Structure 1
C-alpha cells in the first residue's frame, strides 16, 4: 500500500480509521496479537549474549542454565526461598489479616480472604453503620436462615389481610430481625443454641479497622478518597444479587430476579465479633438498578450507569451500603462523551487468571493410549513368520550387491597399480 498511496495517507488518523477498527473486529483486543511479547522474548534471549562472536552459544548456554534453575526451584517449595513457582501474584491477596475463627462453621461461612495494603486505622463507627453492617452479615449467613423464617411467619400473622402485605412483611423483617434475633437467643438460655448463634446474635463491636486499599480475587481495590488526584481507577465495584420485587394490590406477587449492582467503593472496614470472627466489608455508593433510570444498555450491549441516581447511600437505617469483600468484582467507568452524567461500564479481569469458559469436555470415543492395557506378544507360530524383507524386489537387491562388488574390485585394482611384483614401491 505504501507504493500506491502517498506517505501522508499513512498518518495515524487515517491508519486508525481504515485498519485498526477492522483488526479489532477480526482479532479482538490489540494486546492479544501485537508483537510486544515476541520482542520482549527476543530481548530476554539477547540478554544472554556476553560474547558477540559466539551469540548462538551464549543463548544456548543461557537457556540451559535457566531450565536447570527452573527444575531445581521445584524442590524448594517447603523452604522459605522465593522462586517462580511460589512467587506472590501481582496483587497478592494472601490471608494475613483474618484470624481463623474458633468455630469451623463460621470459618466456612466467612472464610478468611484478602490482604490490606497500606496503613491500618482503628476507629469507632456510628451505631447506624454497625446495624447496617451487622444486618448484611446476618442476611448472608446460612445458619441464621431458620430463625429468619420463624420470625417471618410471626410477622405474616400481623399483616394478614392488609394491602401489599408481602412487601410490608419483607420490610419489617429486614428492619427488625436483628433485634428479635438477639432477644430470642437470650430467652432460650443456651437451650439448643450453639456458640456460633450466640456470637452472631450479640452483634459486633463498634470498634473496627479501616483500610484504604485491599487486594482480593487478584484485584487491588482502592477507595474513592484514596484515588483522588490519580490517573488510575480502582474504586469501581460490581456484584450480582437477587432482588425481590412486589406487585401493587391486595394480592401482591413476589418476583425475584438476578440483578447486577454497579457502584463505587467508599470505605473498607473489618467488622470484629469480639475477636472470634472478623469479616471485611465494602461500603459503596450504588447506582439505581431501574432500567433507563440509573442503568441502560444500548443496541451494542454496552452498559451505562448514571451516578446522579443513587440508592442505598447509607443515609437511612434501612439502606444496604455494605457488601462482603468476597462478593466484589472490579469494573471501571468511562465518561460518555454524548450523554452527560452517564458512564460506560468496562469489566476487568485479573491479569494472572484466565477464564476457560463453560465448555464441557467431550468424552473420547476411544480410550487414550495410556489407558489401554498392555498385551503380551505370543510368538508360538514363529516358523510361519517371514524373517526376510519382502518390500523390495529381489532383483534390485542383487543389482545393488553387484554394484558394491564392482566398486570394491576397482578399488583393489587401483591400489595394486602402485606396487611392483617384487613388493617394492615405485
Structure 2
C-alpha cells in the first residue's frame, strides 16, 4: 500500500472495522487516534484545534501503552506526539509530507519508454511535455488544453439571467440521455408545493398566506398551518395570479406549476458532487446514490435526513430555461433509524427503518453526498441491521468555496459538522479573510502580491496563524491521489 492508502485506513476505516471486534476501551483509543490524524490532515487546521491535539495525543499514547507491549513503541509511535507542533510551525501537511513527491514520481515513471535509458527517456518526455504546456498557453480560449480543461464535477456554471427566478438559476448538469415519464396528480401537487415553498421570491406571498390563516383563526397552531399550506398554497397563489393581485411575469410562470411530463436521468452534477441513482449504482463498486439533507422539522432539533437516491427528475415550467432538478429519495427514519455518536462523530443508519412520508422529493441544490458501508460481521446480531454513513467532501476548488461569512452555503449551516473540511468554517468565525487566503496560498497569484512580511513571519505569528491548504480528502469515488484535486490533474514542477 502507498502512504495515502494507509491514511485512508487509519482516518476512515479503523473506527468502523474494529467497532464490534475489539473491547470498547481499546476501540475508543484507536478511534481517538483515527480522529487525531483526520484533524491534522484536514483541509484547514485551526490553532485552537492543534493546541488541543497537542494535549490529547499525549493522553492517547499513554492509553495505548496500557494495551500494547513495550516492544511495540519505537520512534514511529513516538513521532505522533510531535506532529501537532510541526503543524503549527510548518503549516499544512501537503507541503511537508511525501504525498506530492510520490505523486510526482508516479508521473515520471509513467514517462519511461526506453528501459535501457530510463533517465534519458524521462528527461526527453518531460521536456516535450513542458514545451507543449507553454505552447498551449498561447492557444485560443476555445481550445481545450490542460489549462482550460473542465473541472471534474463541473456543473455547467450558473444561469445569471435576471429574467429567471433564483431557483431556476442554480447550476446543475445532467449526465447521460434522459427518458420521459409522467407524474401523477398527487406527485405533481407535492413537488410543485415544495418548489414554491423553497423559492426565495415566493417567501413574501407565503408569509401573506400564513397571515391570512391566522386572521381567520387566531388559535391555529404551527402544525395546522403546515398542513393547510401543503394542501392549499399552490392553488392560492395561482388564484392570486388569475385575479390580477400578482402581476410579476416570473411569479406567474412558476405559479401555474410544472408540466406533467418530466425527464428522468441516471446522473447529475451539482454542488461539486456526482450523483447517480440507486439502480445505476447497483452493479458498481462505487456508491454515488447516498443523499444527506439538513432539516428542521421535529421541534427545535436540527436533524440530518439520510436517504438513497432513486430518481433524478427535471421539471419544466412556463418560459424558456425555467427548469429545476429534484431528487426522489427513499428516506431513513431520522428518529428511530439514525444514531449519532457525539463524541466520535460516527453516524449509523438502520437501513430497514424507513421514513413513512408522502414527501420523497428534495431539491438537488439541497443535497449533500454520503456513502454507506456495512460493519464487519460480529457476534452482535443487532449491529448487522446498521450501516455506517460517511459524508463525502465536494470536488470544488478553493476559490469556489469562499463565500460571505454572513451567508450560509446553500441555505445550510455546517456548524455541526465533526471535521474541519471547509474554508467556510474559518470564514464564519472571522478568523481569516478571503484576501488573506488568496494572497498567501494561491499558487497562481502573482509574486508581487506577496509581501515580505508574509514570508518572514515572526515566531509568535507562526504559532497563532491559520494554515490552509487544498489537500483533497478521501471520498467514495477516488481514493488514489491525496495531493491532487482531480485524478487526471498533472503535477507542476
TM range (shorter): 0.5 to 0.7
Please name the residue that 2:197 is paired with: 139
2: distance between equivalents of 1:41 and 1:333? 32
2: distance between equivalents of 1:54 and 1:84? 28
Kindly state the Cα deviation for residue 352 of structure 1 after the two structures are TM-superposed: 5.8
How many pairs were matched up?
Answer: 327
Which of 154, 166, 185 lines up with 2:212 in the alignment? Answer: 154
Kindly state the Cα deviation for residue 342 of structure 1 after the two structures are TM-superposed: 1.8
Greater Rg, structure 1 or structure 2?
1
Kindly state the Cα deviation for residue 71 of structure 1 after the two structures are TM-superposed: 2.4
1: distance between equivalents of 2:266 and 2:111? 42
Spell out, residue by residue over 1:111-154, the C-alpha distance to the aligned partner (whole angstroms, 9 max, x if none). 14222222310121111111111111101112211111111122
Please name the residue that 2:224 is paired with: 168
Contact 2:183/2:261 (8 A) holds in 1: yes
Alignment of 1:73-92 (within 5 A): 73-76=136-139, 78-79=141-142, 81-92=143-154
Task: Give 5+ residue unaligned stretches, structure 1.
Answer: 1-15, 246-255, 315-319, 372-426
Please name the residue that 1:303 is paired with: 347
Contact 1:285/1:313 (8 A) holds in 2: no
2: distance between equivalents of 1:24 and 1:44? 30
Contact 2:190/2:230 (8 A) holds in 1: no
Call closer, same or farther: CA 1:68–1:321 in 2, change over 3 Å: same
Contact 2:346/2:388 (8 A) holds in 1: yes
Please name the residue that 1:361 is paired with: 432
1: distance between equivalents of 2:271 and 2:148? 17
2: distance between equivalents of 1:56 and 1:47? 12
Contact 2:165/2:250 (8 A) holds in 1: no
Kindly state the Cα deviation for residue 208 of structure 1 after the two structures are TM-superposed: 0.7
Kindly state the Cα deviation for residue 180 of structure 1 after the two structures are TM-superposed: 1.1
Please name the residue that 1:259 is paired with: 303
Please name the residue that 1:235 is paired with: 289
Alignment of 1:2-401 (within 5 A): 24=34, 27-28=37-38, 38-48=101-111, 55-76=118-139, 78-79=141-142, 81-94=143-156, 104-161=162-219, 165-188=221-244, 193-243=247-297, 245=299, 256-276=300-320, 277-290=322-335, 293-298=336-341, 299-311=343-355, 313-314=357-358, 320-336=359-375, 337=377, 338=380, 339-351=383-395, 353=397, 355=421, 357=423, 358-359=425-426, 360-361=431-432, 368-369=451-452
The CA RMSD over aligned residues, in Å, is 3.7
By relative contact order (CA 8 Å, sep 6+), the higher-ranking structure is: 2
Kindly state the Cα deviation for residue 284 of structure 1 after the two structures are TM-superposed: 0.8
2: distance between equivalents of 1:196 and 1:24? 51
Kindly state the Cα deviation for residue 370 of structure 1 after the two structures are TM-superposed: 9.4
Bigger strand share: 1
Call closer, same or farther: CA 1:55–1:183 in 2, change over 3 Å: same
Call closer, same or farther: CA 1:106–1:309 in 2, change over 3 Å: farther
Contact 2:374/2:388 (8 A) holds in 1: yes
1: distance between equivalents of 2:374 and 2:226? 37
1: distance between equivalents of 2:234 and 2:356? 19
